[in-house]
Every structure is written in C-alpha cells, then in structure tokens.
Structure 1
Amino acid sequence: MGAGASKSENSTEPLNVHQAKEAGTCTPQGAQNVCEPSSVDLDTETDVCEENEIKEGEMQEVMIGDQTALLVKDHGELTAVGATCTHYGAKLSKGVLYNGRVRCPWHGACFNVKTGDIEDFPGLDSLPKYSVEVRSGRVIVKSSSTMQSKKRLKPMSCQSPDNEQVFLIIGGGAASVTCAETLRQEGFKGRLILATKELSLPYDRTKLTKALMSSAEEIALRDANFYEVYDIDVQTNKEAVNVDTMLKCVTFRDGSSINYDALTIATGGSPRKPVCPGADLKNVCLLRTPADANYIAEQGKGKHVAIVGNSFIGMEVAAYLASKAASVSVIGRSSVPLQSVLGQQVGQRLLKLFEEKGVKFFNNDSVKEFIGREGSVREVVLNDGGTLPADMVLVGIGVTPATGFLEGSGVMLNDSGHVIVDKFMKTNKDNIFAAGDIAEFPLFLTGDRKATIGHWQMAQAHGRVAALNMLGQDAEIYSVPYFWTVLFGKSLRYTGYGAGYDEVVLHGDLGELKFVAFYTKGDSVVAVSSLNFDPIVSQAAEVFAAGKTIRKEEISEGPYGFIHKLHPQEMT
C-alpha cells in the first residue's frame, strides 16, 4: 500500500480486514461513506402517500423515519432510492427523470431508479434502494436499520489465492480509481495494482483549483482502508518509464517492474511550462498537485499575483485569490476569458464579473519575459511592452498528455501524444487500454469521430469501459461530456461537444447571471451551457444521451423548446 489517507468526516470505523474477506469475496460493511445492500429483513415501513398522488414521470421526496428517499413513478412502476446525489449531495428531485434513470441537476451523474446503481458519472457510489409496495391505494416504503448512509457501494470482490492474473492500472486519477473499482465490482479476483507517480492516494482533482488549501487526505476519493479491504494495491511514487508490450512488462523510475496480463494506461496530463526567459525563477508556479495548490494559496496572500492563461485553471484560481491577494492580473491570448469554449458574449460577462471583484485583465497578449530579483519573480513583461508587478505567477496554459514513456512501445499515439483507442478503449496492442485525458476516442455525439476530452466525468466513463473490456465484456464508450466550473460561488455547467460551433443562441439575462447558451453547428445544437438555469443542462444531456437531436429552430424562441423530447410518450 502506498501513502495513506486519513478518514474523511463521514467515514465509518475501520474494517476488520480479516473478517471482511471470505473465499475471495468482500462484504462492504463499514467501507468509507457507504452502506451495503441489506441482506436482512426490512424492519421499517412508512406510509408515504396515496398512489394517485404521484403521477407518471414524477419524482417526490418522502421521509422514511429520519431518512429522505426519492419516490419515482416511471413506466407505471413505483420505486424508491436515495434522494441525494452521491457526488456532491444535490437533490435528485430537482434533476431529470428519463427512461429509467435520474440525472443529477448539478454535475450530470446518473442513477438507475430501480436499483440505485450509478450509471454515469461523476461520483463513485450508488444510491441506497428501498422496497416499495401499494396496499389499498397507499404507497408503503420499507427500509432497513442498516440503511443509514446516503451512499451505497456495489458488492465487490477481493483477491483470491488461486487466481494468478495481474491487472495493472497506471495513473492516480478518476479513470484509474473507477477502473479498479469496476474490476472488483465485476468479480475480478486476480491481483489488482494501481501505480501512480503521485505521492498520495488518488484524490478529487476538480477541487484543487476551487479550494486551494485542501490536503490530499481531505480530498481523497477513497481512504487507505478501502483499498486494503478490496485488495487494490495502490503504489505511490511509482512513475512508469517504459512499457514492453512483447513481455507485457512495465518498468518504473525506481528500477522496479511489473508484469501484467491486462493494462490500462490513465496517466493524465502534465502542465505546459512557459518557454521564455525567467521561466525557472522561484514562484513561477504550475498547478497539478495538492502541494502545488497549497503553496499557491499561501504565497498568494497579500501579494501581487499574475496568472498566465484565461481558461478554467486560471479563472478558478483568479476567483479564489481575488479577495486574498494584493492584486490579481490575468494574461490571456483571447479577447475574453474562456472564449473558445463559452463564446464571446458569455466570456464578456464573466470578464465583467471578475473586474467587479478587482481582477485586472490583459487580453490578446502573452508573456515575453519574467524578471526576478534574488532568484524570485518580481515582474512580468508582456509582448506589447507593458510590465506587471508579480510576487507570484501561476502558469495555466493547458496540459500535454503524459505519454512520453510510451515512445518505442508500439502503442499508437496521435501527433499530439494522445493514445489512440477504439470504442472499447482498446489500443492497437493486445490487452492494453487507455482512459482519461490521454485518450483519443470515438465520440458518439460526433458520429464516432475521434476526440480528446479532459473532463472528470468522461475520465470516469473511460475507466469503467476499460475495466469491462479488460474482462472481455465488449462494452462501448457511450457517455455525454459534462463539466462544470465554480467562479465566485456561481456554478456554470456545460454539456455536449461544442468544438467548431458556428453560433451561440442565448436566453435569459446575462447581466443577472441567469442564462442558458446553446452552441449550434448548422441546424443542430451541439452543446449547452448555463448559469442559474438548472436543470436545463442535465435535460439537454439526457436528450443527447438518447441519441436525439436538438434543432436550432426548437430553441430559437425560448430555451425549453426541446423539453418535449423527454416526455414519456417520446421515449424510444
């Protein structure tokens, strides 16, 4: 086991590992933040409503003792599952019910309303499931005394002594953890190794730029106890340097090597470094790890901070430091922040929001040189000749795929270094898969044209599909891109694939920061973003997931012209 992680506030007491394992199968009692599917008699019954009080396609929150459940009527059947998303706790009753699943209104996670199982991401855990029956026209929901958690872990296997297979996962992000958990959930009982070059257990990387002072332990996806119970051998400070596809062997920087029967590569990206004089000065920072984030947060207090790059990392850090630094200046090549993704109008409104908070912008510009004194940065020289004071600089100009160790392996890469995979996340080499930011994969939204998408949600979808295909299940990647950003406490959501959009159709009020933007290409909507307009992005994501098209004419007069596609009678 690699570096440990302390328990989170909601985790339960540690498992007795020896008691938790029997004949290669684990029981999840006591695992972090989750409850197990109950195998005991249900011992609480609650009369929640009249049967006719819930209509087809409706969701209602009901109290079951001191627990809140989500009562659903879908295709004439009543079911009940946990009421809050297992990712960040959003109320699922505010989400989208369609064709047997509910999609979270905040970040798009999807759950089966019959089983409670998580079916799309983000998040790791499923929902608790309640038993429902109708008696004399009354809806009765049953629960067990063991169902005290808002999260449920699917049953997972452990390593069996008589299984000699070795499955190796390289990388310590969302794709890797989801891949490992899926393997155990699907009954894999061989040796399972997750090797990461990071010094800590896998953590929620999306929180790095939104809460810079978090420790790796505080944002860990699972604690050390979890990995121990389910025989997931997490090896930290383990950087891959070579893959021998003939010998099925990965060599690491520390000189060790691991032979594998199946391999998933999910090494993510490496921050792009500035190429200009002074780039090696102290306090010219990149942001990739919790240690980086903590350092930037601490060093930025009361100081002059320059941020190079006006995309998501740069803007989230600027929002965090705006009230803490002496000054924050953002240097970007585009005319407004986030322009390539969100468009000119939305970017312009976000620019105004930041300026209202005291952030200064230097747009359509770039850095010529960093000037230092006594080895530390003090000024930024811009290409237009201007200079900015800077006690610290954050460089957020994107990432490159961390795939240099694959050179000479025969694993096929594209010109930018991404690993080329098919719809099964398979590379051109037998029993080698790739997932997450490094993967160029067929995106169904574009008619299976290849795409690279660096979103947390998509990385998890990749990880799950890679795991299923490591086990020979022939599962295809079929997930709608969904991401979010938080700026000054305001959450902006986005779904779809907007590359190459030719027009933005806006509804709502940009000035009031309550709007929805539809990104169109020709006659079709290819992506949707919103702020304070929930759950419209999740509604659009469900339409996309159903393989349906939102036409430009449907949203020309108002934002809800496509919602009829989610009505039960429209289901196919």
Structure 2
Amino acid sequence: MNSPARITVVGASAAGLSVVEGLRRAGYAGRVTLIGDEKHLPYDRPPLSKQLLSGEWDVARLQLRDGEAIEALDLDLRLGVAAVALDARNREVALADGSRVGYDALVVATGAAARRLPGTEGVAGVHALRTLEDALVFRQALRTRPRLAIVGSGFVGAEAAAVARELGSEVTMVTDVAVPLADALGPELGRMLSEVHLEHGVSIVAGIPVEEILAENGRAAGVRLADGRVVEADEVLVGIGARPGTTWLEGSGIPVGNGVECDSTLYAGSGVWAAGDVACWLHPRTGEPTRIEHRTNAAEQGLTVARNILAAPGEAVPFDPVPYVWSDQYDLKIQIYGRTRGADKVRIVEGSVEGRKLVALYGREGRVCGVVGVNLPRATRTYRALVAEAAEWDQAVDTTLIGRTA
C-alpha cells in the first residue's frame, strides 16, 4: 500500500466523507484531516429541495453519519472554517481562522456554490437553495404562503415549485428556455413536466430572461423580465445553476477551469486529487472533460480517490461511472442514468407520456448515452446496462421494441 503520512480533505460533504471512509476501510492508519466550511457534520443535500423543504424530514434525518460514526474515523476534524488558499509548493492549506494544515496528499472536495444574480446581495427575500441554512430560511418563508417567483427551471427550481404549491404558495416559474427541463430531458418530456406543473397551479413564463430582481425598502418585490413585464412576488428563489468551489485555489498552480482539472483517475498533479461537484476529469471513454453535480457521483468519486491515493505507482484506476440522479415532483418519481444533455436521439421504449409512466432511451452519436424513467423505477434500472456499455443505438432500440411486442 502506498502510504502518505498525512492526507487532507477539503470539503466535508458527501464526497469528502466518502474519501475519509474509503481510506479507513482500506486500512489507512495515517493522519486524516477533514475540513469543512459549514459547522454541520456531513449531511445529504438532495432532500433540501424535497423532504426538508416540505417539512416531511427534520434536520437530524439529513445527517449522513452520526457523531459516533464520525468519531470512529479518528479524524482531525475542522468544521466551520473555510480553506482560503493553497500553497502547493509547500503542501499547505491556509484556513480562514489563520491556521495552516500540511499534507502529503490533498483531496479537493469543495463542491459547488449556487450562482447568484448580480445586485441581489443583502436583499431580503431573495433565496438560493444549496446549503442547510438556505433551505431552513426558505422553508420558514414558505410558511407564510407567499407569492413566489422562481428564476430558473432546473431540477432544484422545479422541485421547489412543487413543494411550494403543495404548501399553498402562489408560484410563478420564469425561465429563459422555451421548454423547462428540455435541456436535460428533451422537449417531449420537458413539455410533459411543464403540463404537470401547470395542472398544479404553477404559472410558467418561458423563453424570457430575467433582467433584474426588484426590491422595495431592501426587500424583494418581484422580477423584471427582459421584455419589460414584471412578476410581482414576496419571495424570489434563484435556481440558475452552480459554480465549482475553486476560488480558494487561485494562484496555487493547480489547473482550474470548469472545476479542478484532473486526469481520468481524478488526479490533478502535485499531490492533489479532486472528488464531487468540483472535479472535472477526463472521461476514460469519451476523452471529454466532464463535471457532474450528482450526489451519487460524489460518493463514488470519493471512494475512487481514496483507492487511488493508496494504490501502488501506475495502478490508479480511471473513474468510469454510470451517473445517477433522481427528482421528486408531485407524484412523479424521475430517475436518470447516464448523461442525457447533448443527446441527439430520444425514444420512449416503455409506457407513454400520456400515462406519465415511461422509460426513454437517449442516444448520442449512434450510442446509448442515458435512460430516463418516470414512475417506473424497476423497469428503468433494467436499461442501465445499455448505458454502461454505450450500446449501439439501432440495435438497442430494435431489441427493446421487439421485447415490448413479444
């Protein structure tokens, strides 16, 4: 076993936790430091816009591990303090409290931060939904059943819209795309989900960018659209994506672009690895730089990084996953395996849009690249293998359709 004396992990969410657990399971007995800018023990983020926001779950249920399990990992645990700089030459991480932490191997697992609209800093009633504090503040706001404007129509915005409607808020979703979620699911499924939101009382303003957030006396009052229209609101949720958490790496010499730039084994050079939303690695099959903001991806990357740090020279393994993500909206359970963005073909192979129970295959350049299921979880899983092997499109579709009619 390759055994660096000190391993430091910056980022105490799913990816960082996965790294330190992977190290200990593999028998690593050296010093492990886990640094997190939030004061909480590692917690699960997907429920923030679902079960926690609705009140179905309490905060304690979000914890990925309890205090006893964390203690058993024998960590130098630094919570509530952010990493502010990296000295890669001397292998030291500078923290916001003035302390410095040395390492022989470093894992960057600093995730991603919600993108903000310019000019909204300090404006009351303007929300993001990325951290536990974000979710708790927004949940409290929804208890007053406000008029809510949601800027953006990605999964977080769509999930929040569903919860807000179920809690009795008046909701308007504003997006600059013609069909919400079409970039991820294609226009047919995007239209289906739009219809579901409309049926539940969500107003959708599509194809028009937001020009600015309106404020009165320091508090959100609505949004102004590029065509001059105004959507009045008491609360505004901004869900326009996230940016990788790499600001603290500026000037370090570690390659940063759309995240920490890594090779196929998640290694960035100079003793630095990356895992989770912040990692942009060369996909071993496509050769393309790839960054994925999925909970399961973070955990899988963390385990791969732990394994590769301890691997003998030349024995680090490429990270070659089948990404998985899910979304709960009203009574719909949406599951996605693989990559659907950029697909040039979509084919429903089970169920139907009309019935709102279906499985759809997604293809790119003649190969299966993804599968989406709506309310058919068991059937959806059976198509995962086609994604994993990047099956030839025509043969996969023909075989599937023959199976349906047999």
Q: What is the TM-score when the length of structure 2 is the normalising length?
A: 0.92
Q: Structure 1 counterpart of 2:265, which letter?
A: F
| 2:166 match: secondary structure | coil
Match of 1:300 in 2: 142
Alignment of 1:10-409 (within 5 A): 165-211=5-51, 212=53, 213=55, 214-275=57-118, 280-301=122-143, 302-409=145-252
Match of 2:338 in 1: 496
2:298 is equivalent to residue 455 of structure 1:
no
Residues 548 and 509 (structure 1), Cα distance of their counterparts in 2 relative to 1, 3 Å cut:
closer
Q: Structure 1 counterpart of 2:295, which letter?
A: W
* Structure 2 CA distance for aligned equivalents of residues 411 and 306 of structure 1: 39
Alignment of 1:413-428 (within 5 A): 413-414=256-257, 416=258, 418-428=259-269
Q: Which has the larger radius of gyration?
A: 1
Q: Structure 2 counterpart of 1:169, which letter?
A: V
Residues 369 and 551 (structure 1), Cα distance of their counterparts in 2 relative to 1, 3 Å cut:
closer
Match of 1:129 in 2: none
Residues 176 and 278 (structure 1), Cα distance of their counterparts in 2 relative to 1, 3 Å cut:
closer
Residues 556 and 382 (structure 1), Cα distance of their counterparts in 2 relative to 1, 3 Å cut:
farther
Residues 561 and 334 (structure 1), Cα distance of their counterparts in 2 relative to 1, 3 Å cut:
farther
**Alpha-carbon deviation of 1:280?**
4.0
Residues 164 and 555 (structure 1), Cα distance of their counterparts in 2 relative to 1, 3 Å cut:
closer
Residues 184 and 278 (structure 1), Cα distance of their counterparts in 2 relative to 1, 3 Å cut:
closer
2:277 is equivalent to residue 440 of structure 1:
no
Larger helix percent: 2
| 2:386 match: secondary structure | helix
**Alpha-carbon deviation of 1:428?**
2.2
Q: How many pairs are equivalent?
A: 394
- CA RMSD in angstroms comes to 2.0
Residues 321 and 197 (structure 1), Cα distance of their counterparts in 2 relative to 1, 3 Å cut:
same
Contact 1:501–1:521 (Cα < 8 Å) also in 2? yes
Q: Which of the residues 300, 305, 310 maps onto 1:471?
A: 310
* Alignment gaps of 5+ in structure 1: 1-162, 563-572
Q: Structure 1 counterpart of 2:68, which letter?
A: N
Match of 1:76 in 2: none
**Alpha-carbon deviation of 1:560?**
7.0
**Alpha-carbon deviation of 1:346?**
0.1
* Structure 2 CA distance for aligned equivalents of residues 292 and 325 of structure 1: 20
Residues 255 and 351 (structure 1), Cα distance of their counterparts in 2 relative to 1, 3 Å cut:
same
For residues 276-316 of structure 1, the C-alpha deviation after alignment (integer angstroms, 9 at most, x for no partner) is x5564211111121121121122123110010010011001
2:394 is equivalent to residue 552 of structure 1:
yes
* Structure 2 CA distance for aligned equivalents of residues 377 and 499 of structure 1: 33
For residues 403-444 of structure 1, the C-alpha deviation after alignment (integer angstroms, 9 at most, x for no partner) is 011111110112x3x111112211122x21011111111224
Contact 1:215–1:290 (Cα < 8 Å) also in 2? no
* Structure 2 CA distance for aligned equivalents of residues 396 and 557 of structure 1: 39
**Alpha-carbon deviation of 1:348?**
0.2
Q: Structure 1 counterpart of 2:333, which letter?
A: S
Q: Structure 2 counterpart of 1:268, which letter?
A: G
| 2:80 match: secondary structure | coil
* Structure 2 CA distance for aligned equivalents of residues 250 and 391 of structure 1: 42
Residues 263 and 559 (structure 1), Cα distance of their counterparts in 2 relative to 1, 3 Å cut:
farther
Contact 1:442–1:449 (Cα < 8 Å) also in 2? yes
Contact 2:334–2:372 (Cα < 8 Å) also in 1? yes
Moved more, 230-239 or 266-275: 230-239
Contact 2:110–2:278 (Cα < 8 Å) also in 1? yes
What fraction of aligned residue pairs are identical, expressed as a percent?
A: 30
Residues 255 and 538 (structure 1), Cα distance of their counterparts in 2 relative to 1, 3 Å cut:
same
Residues 178 and 164 (structure 1), Cα distance of their counterparts in 2 relative to 1, 3 Å cut:
closer
Contact 2:149–2:172 (Cα < 8 Å) also in 1? yes
For residues 178-217 of structure 1, the C-alpha deviation after alignment (integer angstroms, 9 at most, x for no partner) is 1110000000111111100012011011111112145543
